[in-house]
Structure 1
Amino acid sequence: MPRCDRFAPMIQPPPRLDVALIPALSDNYIHLLRCGATGVVAVVDPAEAAPVTAVLERRGWTLDLIINTHHHGDHVGGNLDLKARYGAAIVGPAADRDRIPGIDRAIADGESFTVGACPLTGIDVPGHTRGHIAFHGAEDAVLFSGDTLFSMGCGRLFEGTPAQMWRSLTRLRALPPETIVYCGHEYTAGNGRFALTLEPDNADLAARMREVTALRADDRPTLPTTLAVERATNPFLRADLPALAAAVGLADSDPVAVFAEIRRRKDDFRG
């Protein structure tokens, strides 16, 4: 995957956990994980079963785990078919266990499980939905953020409040900058165009958008990203900066109010 030199050193594959992106539906990404030490295979947020099965058959793998970040149909749509075909166990958020089809193990905030030898820890991140959870692999420097954190964006507030989402994003922002972020949708180009309306003089943002434009012109994914890149370019992670508050006419305001205004503007953005 070609990358802008400005950001290439930040994005490296995890040392022990292989992660492959599987496109699904119109703009979803399903993430296929394989532990190099044990061969255990997991899938994160299978929107549908068929593309996952196709990749597994091509690689000669079976499926051991299904991991869900939240209950939306474009993240759990393949759960039951994949479970029936492979006998895979389903792991999902404890806060939303009643809405995860076929769930076997519910993970609460701070609880961990393993994909083979690779541990993942749940981080409750309500806002997009009330029971959304992200999964952080500290040893492998990976984050599966679902629809909470996107590249240069964040999820719509379908069930949560701006205060909840801002707290969720600041929890993710506090992870190490080298953390590789795998999110659920190919929204980067539109998110970047919106971000430029707020920070037209942000050199990091301009550089990232040049990279994104080149990738999309070649029909390539813009993911994964890193927290270092997102801290520099994502307005939703920057709502506590004076420049962002000034950009939305809320200088000296509480970051939650600034975040809420940025989210409102993004909801209305057509670009």
Structure 2
Amino acid sequence: MAQAPLDTTSVNKKRLVVLGSTFAIGYTAMLVSLNHAWYSNEQRTDFHFFNDNNEWRQMDKAGHFWSAFHESRAGIDMLRWAGVPEKKAILYGGMLGVALQTPIEIFDGFQADYGASVGDMVANTVGSAAVVAQELAWQEIRIMPKYSFHTTRYAGMRPNVLGSNLGEQALKDYNGQTYWLSVNVAAFLKEDSRYPKWLNIAAGYGAQEMLYNDPEANAAAGLRAYRQFYLSPDLNLMHFKGRSKVWNTALYVLSIIKVPAPTLEYNKRDGVKLHPLYF
């Protein structure tokens, strides 16, 4: 009987210890800051579930997908850095997004005004699975979820919910958020293709006029929420990697953000319009 080849990958135990310690500290800090940002002024109750799938035009679900994707992406790459065998790094690291996002649902489950969301948990799982699927299929990320943000007038109208400062607004004001899928077109073409390897094409999703998640409350404020769809060029920042670890790390972190660029928008209210530079 033929024997399976031995796995010669050597796990770096020191790096695993560093990862474990850093994760524990960072995880604790995340929970504390999250509790302060979202829940410090909320009324608490017994744990329960709440169906919010029709709220905020699903912008919150897009945010959960984006967050879980990049947390799992980082988990995989950190385990690779520690020398964990490839498939184990993908499968174990790929679960990090779900592991980090689950406490949010637990926190939500104790809030009187809402509760734990099955829809959020599905979005978290799909986000993590999207990383694992690409790594197993292509051994690389070819379709990268990205985020962009601009301030809106709505946050000032309801700062307790949409944010009272820039940091809170970037997290809470769905009107100013756009979530993208940036496609590395060159990765799907032949190696000798002349298509520029630094040029991605990104499709985006956003929504406007969401002061409240309830349509009747929005209408009473003179608003009617609507969806927005975008198409824009984007930079494949990972194409510009070099020899510097600092430079490569910066590109890795920045790759989660959509680079401002000329953008086509479509929505049912205004039809098609061009933004010379869209954030």
TM-score by length of 2: 0.24
Larger strand fraction of residues:
1
Larger helix fraction of residues:
2
Q: Which has the larger radius of gyration?
A: 2
TM-score by length of 1: 0.25
